A and B are shown apart, each in its own frame.
Chain A
Amino acid sequence: MTTPTPKDREGTVFDLGYRRYDGPREGRNRARMALYLDGLRIAMGIGRGGRAKILPWLFVIVAIAIGLIMALIAGAVDRFVGEGAAEAANLPSHADFYSIAGLLLFLFAAVVGPELLCPDRHNKVITLYLVRPITGIDYVAARWLAFLTIMLVVAWLPQVVLLAGLAFGAPQPGDYLIDHWENIPKFLAAGAAIAIYSTSMGLAVAAFTTRRGYASVGLVGLLIISQMAAGILGSNLTGAAAEWLSLVSLSDIPLHINELVFNTTDSLGGGQAARDLPTAVRIGAFFVVTLAAIGVLWNRYWRLSV
């Protein structure tokens, strides 16, 4: 090979042509990671148009705003009524957040969750995934984890904001945190329960349709109907029958965990009678419904990959 003289090089465009790829191929784990990260981006509308960002970020902002407002009210009561007045008046705090914002979290799961599964089936991009070195289960597990990550952030962040607000509103923030540290593991646990639950329910419903709208309406409808059914049955029946039947209120099931974690009795909507059931049953109901939703999801995507 000869070295080109400067004259030869003048004005020459070098087209390297097609180059084969002989770099690393990281197989299935790289694929799973890519699907997980892509799931995060889809959920928050990153790398998509402006319209895709509006709803998820609106939900996040509203959730944080609820935590902020709760902290501000407590701070204001303390300032104008007297120190310790907020606690004395039993103002809404960590234990009440999920019964106040629970609807918002379910709506988030209903509106944003289907975004991770429905368009891929609607546009048939799923076919392109299934011919790559992954299975349908790899795909749906990565999507589930991605949405769970987002749901955890949406469930925990307002509680962190509330905690910070309460701590900075107190005369001695350090002392406040030392006195109230047990709220942190409690809201982490209660938040994780509602996040896992709503993630699994939202995606399981989305696995039955290729249209996001239908999935959103489907999940909201399921929650409303089950809560109404529990309310009606609970008010007309008494005793053990009412307790068991009021468990069908699907939106209350993660709030049972909230009540148990914070040891309170004011979180539930239509399923109050179920409160009198043994603790094991209330926890069991949470696991049964969550695992059933995951099972449905698993089954829908396992069929795809033969």
Chain B
Amino acid sequence: MDVLLRADKLTKHYGSVVALNSATFDVTDGVTGLLGSNGAGKSTAIKLFLGLIKPTSGSMQVLGVETTHNISVRARLGYMPEHDCLPNNVAATEFLTHMAQVSGLPPAQARSRAADTLRHVGLFEERYRPIGGYSTGMKQRVKLAQALVHDPALILLDEPTAGLDPGGREEMLDLVRKTHSEFGISLMLSSHLMGDVERTCDRIIVLEDGHVVQQGAVTGFTEELETLFVEVEDRRSEFVAALQRLNVNATTEDSAVMIVGASEETYDLIARALAESEAPLRRIGPRRHALTELFTGAPAAGGAK
């Protein structure tokens, strides 16, 4: 597997604020998620790789080039910022053609790539309308399209689902997945939502306060951190007591019973406990981790490799 990005003890200070603290990680082919709460250092890491800011110390490689500031490598990178970054009074097709040329493509090729790319992100019909009249979801597609138009080896996406409604979020994540599976382009996306990362990414890097807390395959995370959520109509204390007799570690939270570290056999034990305690089951299901829980309850860095 090719290493697309490599951070080696990468550190960035803004005055007295440490945005990234000796972060060491690799990004390989596929879709990589950069997960962390606001201020964890996700955007800083992305900006460092793009050469928008310089590291305080440490080194990094971008597409195999040892660099802290290399211009030509950016011809093979795409970037989709979190914030708005589109002109209002230009048609999407004009804008993309121009952006492809600024990435180094000759005019004729830029024009055909612009049309192709807009079709791939699902904006073909509207491409001659000024971007200012687009909806948030459509603008988000143009933002992805401009990162894609010059056929980069890797696209960096900063919070691609920020500000989207649930439908728009689903579409965006599908598009991200499709960019890898159908177009063969690798991506790294940052998010503060475990759900987004879980759905789209192959690998995950968790940042907290500028440190890399964990990194590894997404499947490893979900297995290790599975928490079951059980709600009973009645007789909850009897149910918990039954679970404890069966050596199942359960805690109560509001009206629910939480079981951390569940595996296949846990389901059988829960069934037995329900039967023994005669507690009527209302619902049972996996519970999505809140980020804080993931960080505090998670094993040490690299544990999920």
Q: Interface of A with B (CB < 8 Å)?
A: 17-21, 23-28, 30-31, 33-35, 38, 47-49, 52, 119-120, 123-125, 127-135, 305-306
Chain B residues positioned under 8 Å from A35 (CB to CB) = 102
Chain A residues positioned under 8 Å from B116 (CB to CB) = 18-19
Q: How far is the CB of A100 from chain B (nearest CB, A)?
A: 33
Tell me if B101 and A131 are in contact (CB < 8 A).
Answer: no
Tell me if B105 and A21 are in contact (CB < 8 A).
Answer: yes
Chain A residues positioned under 8 Å from B98 (CB to CB) = 34, 38
The reply on B74 being an interface residue by CB < 8 A is yes
In the docked arrangement, what's the CA distance between A33 and B130, Å?
24
Q: Which residue of A lies closest to B110 (CB)?
A: A34
Supply 17 A–B pairs (Cβ within 8 Å), ascending by A. Answer: A18-B182, A20-B183, A20-B184, A21-B109, A23-B105, A23-B106, A24-B105, A25-B103, A30-B105, A31-B102, A47-B90, A120-B87, A124-B85, A129-B102, A131-B51, A132-B103, A305-B52
Chain A residues positioned under 8 Å from B151 (CB to CB) = 20-21
Q: How far is the CB of A232 from chain B (nearest CB, A)?
A: 42
Tell me if A31 and B85 are in contact (CB < 8 A).
Answer: no
Of the listed residues A27, A30, A306, the one surrounded by the most CB atoms of chain B closer than 10 A to its CB is A30
Chain A residues positioned under 8 Å from B50 (CB to CB) = 131
Tell me if B74 and A123 are in contact (CB < 8 A).
Answer: no
In the docked arrangement, what's the CA distance between A169 and B151, Å?
59
Tell me if A52 and B89 are in contact (CB < 8 A).
Answer: yes
In the docked arrangement, what's the CA distance between A34 and B102, Å?
6
Chain B residues positioned under 8 Å from A25 (CB to CB) = 75, 103-105, 150
In the docked arrangement, what's the CA distance between A270 and B105, Å?
51
10 nearest A-B pairs in the assembled complex, by CB-CB distance? A34-B101, A21-B151, A18-B183, A131-B79, A25-B104, A133-B75, A124-B85, A31-B102, A27-B104, A133-B74
In the docked arrangement, what's the CA distance between A306 and B69, Å?
9
Q: A26-B106, A28-B71, A125-B87 are in contact. Are A47 and B52 (CB under 8 A)?
A: no
Select one of A28, A120, A127, A128 contacting B72, CB under 8 A.
A28
In the docked arrangement, what's the CA distance between A48 and B95, Å?
11
Tell me if B182 and A30 are in contact (CB < 8 A).
Answer: no
Tell me if A23 and B104 are in contact (CB < 8 A).
Answer: no
Q: Interface of B with A (CB < 8 Å)?
A: 50-54, 69, 71-75, 77, 79, 81, 83-91, 94, 98-99, 101-106, 109, 113, 116, 120, 130, 146, 150-151, 182-184
Select one of A18, A26, A52, A131 contacting B52, CB under 8 A.
A131
Of the listed residues B50, B73, B99, B102, the one surrounded by the most CB atoms of chain A closer than 10 A to its CB is B102
Tell me if A24 and B106 are in contact (CB < 8 A).
Answer: yes
Chain B residues positioned under 8 Å from A33 (CB to CB) = 101
Q: A18-B120, A25-B75, A133-B71 are in contact. Are A128 and B109 (CB under 8 A)?
A: no
Of the listed residues A20, A21, A47, the one surrounded by the most CB atoms of chain B closer than 10 A to its CB is A21
Chain A residues positioned under 8 Å from B88 (CB to CB) = 123
Chain B residues positioned under 8 Å from A30 (CB to CB) = 101-102, 104-106
Chain A residues positioned under 8 Å from B86 (CB to CB) = 123, 125
Chain A residues positioned under 8 Å from B91 (CB to CB) = 47
Given contacts A17-B182, A34-B102, A123-B87, 19 further A-B contacts (CB under 8 A): A18-B120, A18-B183, A19-B116, A24-B109, A30-B102, A30-B104, A31-B101, A48-B90, A124-B83, A127-B52, A128-B79, A128-B99, A128-B146, A131-B50, A132-B74, A132-B102, A133-B75, A134-B102, A135-B71
Select one of B51, B73, B89, B94 contacting A306, CB under 8 A.
B51
Chain B residues positioned under 8 Å from A305 (CB to CB) = 52
Tell me if A128 and B81 are in contact (CB < 8 A).
Answer: yes
In the docked arrangement, what's the CA distance between A306 and B182, Å?
36
Tell me if A48 and B101 are in contact (CB < 8 A).
Answer: no
Q: A23-B109, A25-B104 are in contact. Are A132 and B90 (CB under 8 A)?
A: no
Chain A residues positioned under 8 Å from B81 (CB to CB) = 124, 127-128
Tell me if A125 and B113 are in contact (CB < 8 A).
Answer: no
Chain B residues positioned under 8 Å from A131 (CB to CB) = 50-52, 74, 77, 79
Tell me if A47 and B94 are in contact (CB < 8 A).
Answer: yes
Chain B residues positioned under 8 Å from A130 (CB to CB) = 52
Chain B residues positioned under 8 Å from A120 (CB to CB) = 87
Q: Which residue of A lies closest to B75 (CB)?
A: A133
Chain A residues positioned under 8 Å from B103 (CB to CB) = 25, 31, 132-133
In the docked arrangement, what's the CA distance between A124 and B81, Å?
10
Q: Which residue of B lies closest to A35 (CB)?
A: B102
Q: How far is the CB of A86 from chain B (nearest CB, A)?
A: 46
Q: How far is the CB of B172 from chain A (nearest CB, A)?
A: 17
Q: How far is the CB of A77 from chain B (nearest CB, A)?
A: 46
Tell me if A26 and B51 are in contact (CB < 8 A).
Answer: no
Q: A52-B89, A128-B81, A128-B99 are in contact. Are A134 and B71 (CB under 8 A)?
A: yes
In the docked arrangement, what's the CA distance between A48 and B79, Å?
25
Q: Which residue of A lies closest to B94 (CB)?
A: A47
Tell me if B102 and A123 are in contact (CB < 8 A).
Answer: no
Of the listed residues A18, A23, A123, the one surrounded by the most CB atoms of chain B closer than 10 A to its CB is A18
Q: Which residue of B lies closest to A119 (CB)?
A: B87
Chain A residues positioned under 8 Å from B72 (CB to CB) = 27-28, 133
Q: How far is the CB of B106 from chain A (nearest CB, A)?
A: 6
Q: Which residue of A lies closest to B83 (CB)?
A: A124
In the docked arrangement, what's the CA distance between A130 and B103, Å?
10
Q: How far is the CB of B160 from chain A (nearest CB, A)?
A: 15
In the docked arrangement, what's the CA distance between A133 and B85, Å?
18
Q: How far is the CB of A186 from chain B (nearest CB, A)?
A: 38
In the docked arrangement, what's the CA distance between A235 and B77, Å?
61
Chain B residues positioned under 8 Å from A18 (CB to CB) = 116, 120, 182-184
Q: How far is the CB of A139 from chain B (nearest CB, A)?
A: 9
Q: Which residue of A lies closest to B95 (CB)?
A: A125
